Structure 1
Amino acid sequence: MRVSCLLLFACTLALAQAGTWRQSQDYISSDEARPSWTHRHSEIWPCDVADYPEAYLLIHKVEKRLERMDNEQLKSRIVDYVVGELRDCKTGNDMDEHCVKRSIGYAMSFINRHKKQQL
């Protein structure tokens, strides 16, 4: 009975260790495969939100939309809105990836609404 318990305990520890090792390998490989459009310390995006990899997708999508606009005042308003959304997604030194992904829809809606108002 004792041997079975010890064997079960050893297997449980080994599986837990293997899971931890696998998660660390996933984290390392995701850092190596960063997209080419990662933050470039532009003057548009403040570092307190743009330095988070979780924010890159939203920033990239908004930058693509901003490239097609001529109105600098509207661009500034959009950037301010998106920065506010990203700051709302921060908790301490972490940024919630799911919050950022939800913010993509809000930001695109904001952009479309303001573009229509400009017409």
Structure 2
Amino acid sequence: MNSTLAILLISALVVVQARNIRSSEEDNSSQVPSLSHSHPHSIKWPCDVGHFPEAYILMHKVDKRLERIDNESTKERIGNYAVSQLRQCILDGQMDVHCVRRSIGFTMSFIHHQMSQANGM
């Protein structure tokens, strides 16, 4: 229970921080954009999903899991699955945060399944 509460609190802080960063970037729009301003997300993620702050929670969780995986084809399958989940959450040009939250569970389950298959070989 305490760990779930901690995870929710951290996730909320990440979303708030991402929104603050995004709004401060918009305030500094008169400056020439650097690579970090035009791509605030990891280069591992496509821009069509990576620029939504709502997606950062899932992207962060997947990135952390991928750090523990050595097999490149497994990493690619997991990354593609996560991107497809995020793309399904884009509605009318906006990322549906509730859809992203549901996708976290689906993606973590997919990662577990991929890891089980890799270990079973």
TM range (shorter): 0.5 to 0.7
CA distance in 2, matches of 1:98, 1:118: 31
CA distance in 2, matches of 1:54, 1:118: 30
Q: Please say if 1:59 is aligned against 2:59.
A: yes
CA distance in 1, matches of 2:92, 2:67: 32
Q: Alpha-carbon deviation of 1:42?
A: 3.2
Secondary structure of the residue that 1:68 maps to in structure 2?
coil
- TM-score for both structures, normalised by structure 2: 0.66
Instruction: State which structure, 1 or 2, has the greater radius of gyration over its C-alpha atoms.
Output: 1
Runs of 4+ in 1 over 6 A off after TM superposition: none
CA distance in 1, matches of 2:118, 2:18: 40
Match of 2:19 in 1: 31
Q: Please say if 1:118 is aligned against 2:106.
A: no
C-alpha RMSD over aligned residues: 2.2
CA distance in 2, matches of 1:30, 1:41: 10
Q: Which runs of 5+ in 2 are unaligned?
A: 1-15, 23-38
Identity of aligned residues (%): 53
Counterpart AA for 2:107: A
Q: Which runs of 5+ in 1 are unaligned?
A: 1-27
Q: How many residues are paired up? A: 88
Match of 1:77 in 2: 77
Q: Alpha-carbon deviation of 1:30?
A: 7.4
- TM-score for both structures, normalised by structure 1: 0.67
Distance 1:91 1:29, change over 3 A: same
Match of 2:89 in 1: 89
Distance 1:78 1:33, change over 3 A: same
